Structure 1
Amino acid sequence: MSIAQIIQNAWNKQSKWLIALRPLSWLYGFGFGFNKFLYQSGIKHKYHAPIPVMVIGNITVGGSGKTPLLIQLVKYLQSKNVKVGVISRGYGGEGPFPHQVTLDSIPDVVGDEPCLIVQSTGVPMAVGSNRREAIELLLQHYELDLIISDDGLQHLALDRQLEWIVLDNNRGLGNQKILPEGYLREPVSRLEQGTVIEHAHEPHSHLHMHLEVAEPYLLNPQFDQASIFDPTLDYYAVVGIGFPKRFYHTLETMGVCEFQCHEFPDHYDYEISDLHFEDMNPIITTEKDAVKLLPLLKKHPSYQREIWVVPVEAILSEQCYQLLDQQLGALGIQIH
């Protein structure tokens, strides 16, 4: 088990030994705060895009539900004839950057989440650690009204007009300590500076979302796609996401009670050997993992085990859409 995985497990359990990492948290906090001061004072310069920028992010390490939220917002804006584009760091991709994401892009080049976003929406998208270059690449090819940044809440070099911060109440804020003693990227007070979208089935805020499960589908291209999903079977739950417990909870709500957990690091680069087990029980996984597994299956057409994918959709409260319409209207972007 890697050091990163050991720390991740300690965060989830809020282990007491994490206090030993407090000096590193102080160092991280000082460095982040000093960098923030440099941008606020103008010593470091921010990039101001020629069109409004909206950032969707979180203050925690690992999954919070921001990608399903982004996908849903893109679909909503597209339905309202808003010309929207998306940028992302492209974590897990090897580039070269900046790089446009298309339906033919592969995760090894642009990252897994960008592939999922474009496959789900067809939105114009570019990736790269330099957000300015990604935005300029998009604007060379498209006339857009709005740029949405997938993550990048802590990317201070990018000026933004809107910030939506996803707060996953299913996971919470742990011990409320910043990295590495806890899994916060910024102090809890950061939540006071943006629009907080509560991710919870029993929310306390009017601005909330939850994930709704759709019918699972077979990933294997050579199998009969008319096959019916059977929740009573034994499954291997193969996941490489930031917060695997959410996926396990989803399986339980679907009636899948018999599954063995096989966790990999977030954005993991799978090998076909990771999908081999002693028997032929099926695998069940997330859409994010599926975008990496499908190219692997195409390289190994003899692989015969069923792999089922569980799609999820972000369901937003009506107040989220009302607020978005108001915020965009204040920026001169009319929702029709």
Structure 2
Amino acid sequence: MSIETTVTRAWQRKAAWLWLLLPISWLYGLIITLRRQAYRWGVFASYRAPIPVMVIGNISVGGSGKTPLIIELVSHLQAVHRIKVGVISRGYGGDNSQMPALVDASSTPSVVGDEPCLIVNMTGVPMAVSPNRQQAITTLLAAHPDLQLIIADDGLQHYALQRDIEWIVVDTARGFGNKQLLPTGFLREPLSRLKGATVVYHSKQQTSPAAEHASKQKQPNQRLLMYMQADSMQPLWAPSLANTQKPNAAKADIQTSEQQDHPAAPKTGSQVHAVSGIGYPQRFFETLTDLGFEVIAHPYPDHYDFTLAELLQYRQHPIVVTTKDAVKIKALLSKAMANNALDDDYQALVSRLWVLPVTAVLSDDCYHLLTEQLQRLDIDIKSHQALK
């Protein structure tokens, strides 16, 4: 078991031995406080982009629902307000030697990271990646000079980048644990960091408008709510992907839907292997359980690089993955197909791979506040478009 896995499990259990690390957390807290103040006082240089920047992030380690939120915000801004929006990201898991880089439909997770690939595949938004956010913005604006707004993915602690709007996502299922900074707890920054930022609370889906209203009454400060809505399960290797990425139909023997039907989706009540390499896989497992599946959970570290051999070990039952993991697995299949490296066992694996897409659903208050924030920045909003 890796150190990362051991500590993560200890955070989840609120293990008593974590308090032995408290002096390190105090030192870490002092360092991050001094660092932030240094940027405020101008001791460290920071970059002001020529157009407004909206940062989406969190104050905890692990997943919070940030990526689905970004996808929903981009879709909303494009479709409802007709705003020309771009996205930048660090490109975690990509190849730093090839950055800064623009992200498009042909980009691969090994070069630009899995989350950028997912965001672009879902929205078609102009996007650039680099550990240096200034370089990412410069690269993005050079290719798309007409952009009106930039959304920075997971740049909350990157104080070298000045920002106009901050949205912090809080997962109510995880909460804040023991409320301690790393490594005693899983907080990157203290809870006081929430002050002055827009906080969006990622909670479980309410069953009715009345239930949502009751939730707001119980937690009046949690005005901005978000939940994930599970969509219909889809085969991971969709016919469109097979048609567009298969270099030679004679070399690759995976048949498209025109030649054979994909097996039926897993039925409610059946057993499924839930394979996940995201920051907080428990929510994914719980979603499948809530949908009525008997879940055999296989959690992996965030941004994990799967191999087809690893997936092959999960036999007998369908394998269900997240859309983020599906991006990497599709890239693996494409590479194997190009090399004509898929034997009968691997083709059987393809037929067992399924994706559970989720969509971020925001409360009306989120959209109204977003409109107000954009108007304060003098961004041209198409006012004739109705809010979602």
The TM-score range, normalised by the shorter chain, is over 0.9
| Residue aligning to 2:331 | 295
Counterpart code for 1:121: T
State the number of aligned residues: 335
Question: Is 1:322 equivalent to 2:339 in the alignment?
Answer: no
| 1:30 alignment partner, SS class | helix
Radius of gyration: which is bigger?
2
Q: Is the 8 A contact 1:208 1:317 kept in 2?
A: yes
Aligned match for 1:242, one of 275, 279, 304: 279
**Is residue 141 from structure 1 mapped to residue 143 from structure 2 by the alignment?**
yes
Aligned equivalent of 1:93:
94
Match status 1:214 vs 2:241: no
1:1-336 aligned at under 5 Å gives the runs: 1-79=1-79, 80-95=81-96, 96-142=98-144, 143-201=146-204, 202=215, 204=219, 205-220=222-237, 221=242, 222=254, 224-225=261-262, 227-256=264-293, 258-277=294-313, 279-298=315-334, 299=336, 300-302=341-343, 303=346, 304-305=348-349, 306-336=352-382
**Cα-to-partner distance string for 1:192-248 (whole Å, 9 max, x where unaligned):** 120001111355322111000000101135463473332333211111011111011
Contact 2:56 2:166 in 1 (8 A): yes
**2:282 alignment partner AA:** K
1:17 counterpart SS class? helix
Question: Which of structure 1's runs of 4+ aligned residues deviate more than 4 A?
Answer: none
Deviation sequence 1:164-198 (CA, Å, 0-9, x none): 01111111000000011000000001111200011
Shift of 1:24: 1.5
For the 8 Å contact 1:217–1:229, the answer to whether it is kept is no
| Conserved 8 A contact 2:289-2:295 | no
Q: Which SS does the other structure have where 2:227 is aligned?
A: strand
Question: Percent identity, aligned pairs only?
Answer: 49
Task: Tell me the distance in 2 between the aligned counterparts of 1:326 and 1:225.
Answer: 46
Amino acid at match of 2:56: I
Give secondary structure in 2 for the equivalent of 1:193: coil
1:51-76 per-position Cα deviation (integer Å, ceiling 9, x unaligned): 00000000000000011011000000
Could you tell me which runs of 5 or more consecutive residues in structure 1 were left unpaired when the two chains were aligned: none
The secondary structure found in structure 1 opposite 2:195 is helix
Q: How far apart, CA to CA, are the structure 2 residues paired with 1:225 and 1:134?
A: 40
Unaligned 5+ runs, structure 2: 205-214, 243-253, 383-388
Q: Deviations 1:243-293 (Å, cap 9, x if unpaired)?
A: 11101110011111x222111110011112211226332111100110011
For residue 47 of structure 1, report the CA deviation from its aligned partner.
0.2
* 1:27 Cα offset (Å): 1.9
After TM superposition, the score normalised by the length of structure 1 is 0.96
Distance 1:22 1:97 in 2: 37
Paired with 1:335 and 1:311, the residues of 2 have a C-alpha distance of 30
The alpha carbon displacement at 1:301 in A equals 3.1
CA distance in 2, matches of 1:160, 1:279: 48
Amino acid at match of 1:297: L
| Amino acid aligned to 2:310 | D
Whole-Å separation in 1 of the counterparts to 2:314 and 2:122? 34
Q: Give distance in 2, aligned partners of 1:100 and 1:227.
A: 37
Once the two structures are superposed, what CA deviation does each residue of 1:78-114 show, in whole Å capped at 9, x if it has no partner?
A: 0121000000000011141111110111101111100
Amino acid corresponding to residue 284 of structure 1 in structure 2: V
Distance in 2, Cα, partners of 1:191 & 1:60: 11
Describe the SS at the equivalent of 1:50. Answer: coil
